[in-house]
Amino acid sequence: MKQKILVTRQLSPDLIDKLNRYFDVEVNAGKKYSTTELIQAVQGKQGILLAGGEKIDALAAEQLHGIKAICISAAGYNNVDVDALTQSGIIVTNAPGPADETVADFAWGAMIMLARKAPEAERWLRQGNWTSSAGSRFFGTDVYGKTLGIIGMGRIGQAIARRAVGFNMPVFYYNRNRLTEDIESVCRATYLSKPELLVASDFVLLALPYAKANHHLIGKDELSQMKPSAMLINIARGGLIDEAALADALIQHKLAGAALDVFEEEPVVYPALLDLPNVLLTPHIAGATEKAQHGIAAVAVENLVAALGYGPDAYRPVAILNPAVLAGHHS
């Protein structure tokens, strides 16, 4: 008898076909599950392919009886409590890699759009205000030759840094662990402490995973260290920024602008940010291309097949977040 799994969002047919080879598959064809609905939907199942960003907290983790593996179709995993799932003996994997270059492209697009006041100019045009020259109304700032500070220098941070060469931008970075000299050389990036980076950078870009330890990594104190002419870009996770402090800094002209693709309480956006002209807001789409999303989902499928003991990589899923649990299942 095949093990039963739940896929929480529709995937492309080729990926569902692959899952059907190994499992009795149920696909959620409706709206995104609430946590309570998810718990109900997985009764009697052994695996979950978490593809819709559903949240699993510590209380939910205790109620996932019979679940052996949760494979997340995303690089980020702050929507699940990995520690609690580990305590419940559930394997957890994520899917980093396929969207790295896609997100890096978007980061540069957001930075340029913000610097050149493109969102504000487009709104002005759509409102029918372009009846004569805009004059100096939308004079922005150049990106070329300015200083880029990247906080979080994993694969995405490095991809962003490599693109800076064409813009003749000095790159500073802050990371939990300093990179090797070879990687620093390829990225043409210089390591600084976080305070040093904040003081020196014209653009500060966040490209690190969320964890409890870096909750509100950018708050009132950090914003006060940045240049009033500086701009903040977040394509990582919303909880990294104190959004109330950011709104205050923008309102008080202590910061020139911000581009945010992620938010602490998605899909809710901190209300004060919605009314500010110097903010670019997008609905978590940095990795949203067909190629990238198919690649991410394909990794999640491979992970689930392997985590539940099938295929050529049985019991060897990639990007496992709690390998000790896998060892316990396989022993």
Q: Pick from 23, 78, 25: which is nearest to 54 by CA?
A: 78
Q: Pick from 174, 183, 178: which is nearest to 218 by CA?
A: 174
Q: Could you tell me the two tokens for 32?
A: 């995104």
Greatest Cα pair distance, the chain, in angstroms, is: 74
DSSP, collapsed to helix, strand or coil, labels residue 92 as strand
Q: Pick from 37, 30, 43: which is nearest to 56 by CA?
A: 37
Active site residue 237: yes
Sheet holding 91-93, edge to edge: 23-27, 3-7, 47-50, 69-72, 91-93
Active site residue 216: no
To the nearest 10 degrees (0 to 180), the angle between helices 290-307 and 13-22 is: 0
Q: Could you tell me the two tokens for 103?
A: 């997100």
| E strand spans, 39-174 | 47-50, 69-72, 91-93, 148-151, 171-174
Q: Which is catalytic among the residues 101, 237, 243, 302?
A: 237
Q: Which is catalytic among the residues 215, 266, 294, 329?
A: 266
Q: Pick from 215, 224, 225, 279: which is nearest to 247 by CA?
A: 279
DSSP, collapsed to helix, strand or coil, labels residue 29 as coil
- CA 94 – CA 300 distance, rounded (Å): 7
DSSP 51: -
Q: Which is catalytic among the residues 155, 215, 284, 294?
A: 284
Active site residue 316: no
Q: Could you tell me the two tokens for 76?
A: 């980020």
Q: Could you tell me the two tokens for 129?
A: 């205000």
- Active-site positions read 237, 266, 284
